[in-house]
A = this chain, B = another copy of it.
């Protein structure tokens, strides 16, 4: 049997979870670390990275690659969805994409690919930033 070490619930993982849910739009691990420190926490940077990786794996957070290559995270409802992101202010809307989900799976299947996954994100400039 594959003996995976049991996960423990810690204050700092909760703190990250909470800080992430407070944040608007996507945040980097470093930003989150800074926020936590400013709120009086003594949490370490490495811990924030580990907590975010865990949350993402557990499906509690969405992750995507920012423009300059860093990983950005966002609290997330457990169902699958994609994002419409403002290039200027970072405003993020969750969009639902049945049509595209099935399209992606069809394309994969048509070419003999199995266990398909995909990355789909739409960027633009929101109405507010337009003016």
Contacts and interface: CB of A to CB of B under 8 A. Distances in A.
Main secondary structure of the interface of A (DSSP, over half): strand
A36 to B, nearest CB: 23
A125 B117 CA distance: 10
A46 interface: no
B118 A123 contact: yes
B123 A117 contact: yes
Interface in A94-121: 95, 97, 99-100, 103-104, 107-108, 111-121
21 contacts: A65-B69, A86-B113, A93-B111, A97-B103, A97-B107, A99-B99, A100-B100, A100-B103, A100-B120, A107-B122, A108-B122, A112-B126, A113-B122, A113-B124, A113-B126, A114-B130, A115-B124, A116-B123, A118-B123, A119-B119, A119-B121
